[in-house]
A = this chain, B = another copy of it.
Amino acid sequence: MPHPIELYVPAITPFAADLSVDHARLVAHGKALIAAGAHGLAPFGTTSEANSLSVAERMAALEALVEGGIAPGVLIPGTGCCAAPDSITLSAHATRLGCKGVLMLPPFYYKGVSDDGIFAAFAQVIEAVGSTRLGVYLYHIPQMSGVAIPLAVIERLLLAYPGTIRGLKDSSGKWEYSRDVIVNFPEIATYSASEAMIPDNARTGGAGCISASANVNPAGIRRLIDALGTEHEPAALEQVCALRSLFEALPLIPAIKAAVAARTGDPEYARLRPPFVPLPEEHRAEVARAVALAAG
């Protein structure tokens, strides 16, 4: 059975002036994304600056999303940390809340670790959570984490935990990796990290995308998904690619937050935690152009 093609948004995390998580804006932004056509949210990933949040902050923010009225069944929060106890705490918490699944980085401080070690790290968390309701989406983003998820590890995890391993997000930017995962493991839902890959992802048997620029252009990406295989597909693809390409030369997370601030007219959304710094003034024009191109 083919996967439905869906858009999950790696929602930005708004911060208040004291750099605490701004729950009200987080919920408002999340609801706006879903109202604009996103199928769900994949919050607390890379674009969300989740690795700049403590475990307690991440749990409180996830609870705020659910209490704010976003159904847990459309949430795939990031839960993979360096330390297994933290990944276990977050994954168990998200599972208890009824989330669709969790997006799990491998432990990412130590580099050059073996396939056996990466498998053992995921297995340790899955065993400790110990719930048939846990759904794990593997998070492959080697250019940031420094630790890839090899195909051989996916195969072993699927053999050991067939009901638990439900998908993978490929943020490598390399279509070849997405393709290899989809072709070898068609039973899991594979999301590419760029909306430009949605047609290839869908035709190969993938599940859609989880893309940073969906914070700015959710309606445009949803339109592309709905237009797949119709005469409207080329124009919809052109729109999402034109917008996305404007971000390519910019510091991505500061630019996405600046764009959300510009779209909403609310400069509070642009605030970042260190080590990020505000988007340099010279890039404001590109952000304004991206916002002007956004659909809906």
Interface residues of A (CB under 8 A from B): 19, 46, 51-57, 82-86, 89, 106-111, 113-114, 116-118, 120-121, 123-124, 143-147, 253, 273-277
Q: Is the CB of B116 within 8 A of A277?
A: yes
Quickly give the copy total for this chain. Answer: 2
Residues of B within 8 A of A146 (CB): 146
Q: Is the CB of B54 within 8 A of A107?
A: no
C-alpha spacing A275/B147, complex, angstroms: 10
Q: Is the CB of A274 within 8 A of B124?
A: yes
Q: Is the CB of A83 within 8 A of B120?
A: no
User: Which of B53, B121, B274 is A274 in contact with, Cβ under 8 Å?
Assistant: B121
Residues of B within 8 A of A113 (CB): 275-276
Q: Is the CB of B107 within 8 A of A83?
A: no
Residues of B within 8 A of A276 (CB): 110, 113, 117
Residues of B within 8 A of A82 (CB): 51-52, 82
Residues of B within 8 A of A52 (CB): 82-84, 107, 109-110
Residues of B within 8 A of A275 (CB): 106-107, 110, 113-114, 117-118, 120-121, 147
Q: Would you give the shortest CB distance from A185 to chain B, in whole angstroms? A: 21
Q: Is the CB of B57 within 8 A of A110?
A: no
Other A-B pairs, 9, CB within 8 Å; known A52-B107, A117-B277, A147-B275: A53-B85, A82-B82, A84-B274, A106-B275, A109-B145, A114-B275, A117-B275, A117-B276, A146-B146
Residues of B within 8 A of A106 (CB): 275
Residues of B within 8 A of A56 (CB): 85
C-alpha spacing A123/B124, complex, angstroms: 35
Q: Is the CB of B110 within 8 A of A54?
A: no
Q: Is the CB of A274 within 8 A of B117?
A: yes
C-alpha spacing A36/B33, complex, angstroms: 61
Residues of B within 8 A of A84 (CB): 52, 273-274
Q: List 29 A-B contacts (CB under 8 A).
A: A46-B109, A46-B110, A51-B82, A51-B83, A51-B110, A52-B83, A52-B84, A52-B110, A53-B83, A53-B85, A54-B86, A82-B82, A109-B144, A110-B144, A110-B253, A110-B275, A111-B143, A111-B144, A114-B275, A114-B277, A117-B274, A117-B276, A117-B277, A118-B275, A120-B274, A120-B277, A121-B274, A124-B274, A146-B146
C-alpha spacing A265/B4, complex, angstroms: 57
User: Which of B89, B108, B123 is A109 in contact with, Cβ under 8 Å?
Assistant: B108
Q: Would you give the shortest CB distance from A87 to chain B, in whole angstroms? A: 10
